[in-house]
Amino acid sequence: MLFDRTIDTLEKRLREPLPGVVSHRKYMHRGRLKNERPIPDHVRNSAVLILLYPWMDKAYFPLILRPQYDGKHGGQMALPGGKAEPSDENLVRTALREAQEEIGIKAIDVKVLGELTDVYIPISNYIVRPVIGYMDYKPEFYPDVREVERIYHTDIEDIIRGGEIINREILIGSQQVMVPGFEVQDSWVWGATSLILSELSDVLNA
């Protein structure tokens, strides 16, 4: 099965050195590339989950559309996840807990394969740990309507193949910035999510 081969490949490649910031830079806007700085000491920790599951003999994972709100990440495409809580023993637990809360999966059924490189989000001062896991069945999703407007069933082959980099002008802070991203189905993926999926693509294409 293609799904099983994808899982086997990821399990092997996640034990090897990761491409990290080399992958991230493909989707960083020009201003950030010019002003790359060390990650500050005082950041807020968070984690997201790339949850692979079988569907029609392929590997899929959920991307979510955040509802429009006044915060920094309203209306964006994202991976399920959020900030670490004091009760989380580690960031893997954060990713699993947040995914269960946001999209209604059974965290106990997720088998964790590994982690990708942390991504720092300057505008919100979060550092994000991407966790990769899988389920051996296609889950039913029960989205939290406060956190999730829509769930996209995303074929991982679309991420592996990549696509055209599409630049759009986005308001970041108080400035209009031209930002690279890519399309998934009928939506545009940019920011931390595009950096994370860029590394996932490079890991699978290694």
pLDDT in tens, 43-96: 999 999 999 999 998 999 999 999 986 555 568 999 999 999 999 999 999 999
The residue among 18, 22, 14, 24 whose CA lies nearest residue 121 is 24
Domain count, the chain: 1
Average pLDDT over residues 90-106: 98
Asked if residue 171 is part of any domain, the answer here is no
CB atoms within 10 A of CB 91: 21
pLDDT at residue 162 greater than cutoff 90? no
CB atoms within 10 A of CB 96: 24
Beta strands in 33-145 (DSSP E): 44-55, 58-65, 77-78, 81-83, 111-115, 119-121, 126-134
Asked if residue 182 is part of any domain, the answer here is no
Asked if residue 183 is part of any domain, the answer here is no
Asked if residue 167 is part of any domain, the answer here is no
| pTM of the shown model | 0.94
Predicted confidence at residue 37, as pLDDT, reads 77
Whole-number Å distance between alpha carbons of 99 and 105: 7
Are 107 and 97 in contact by the 8 Å Cβ rule? The answer is: yes
pLDDT at residue 7 greater than cutoff 70? yes
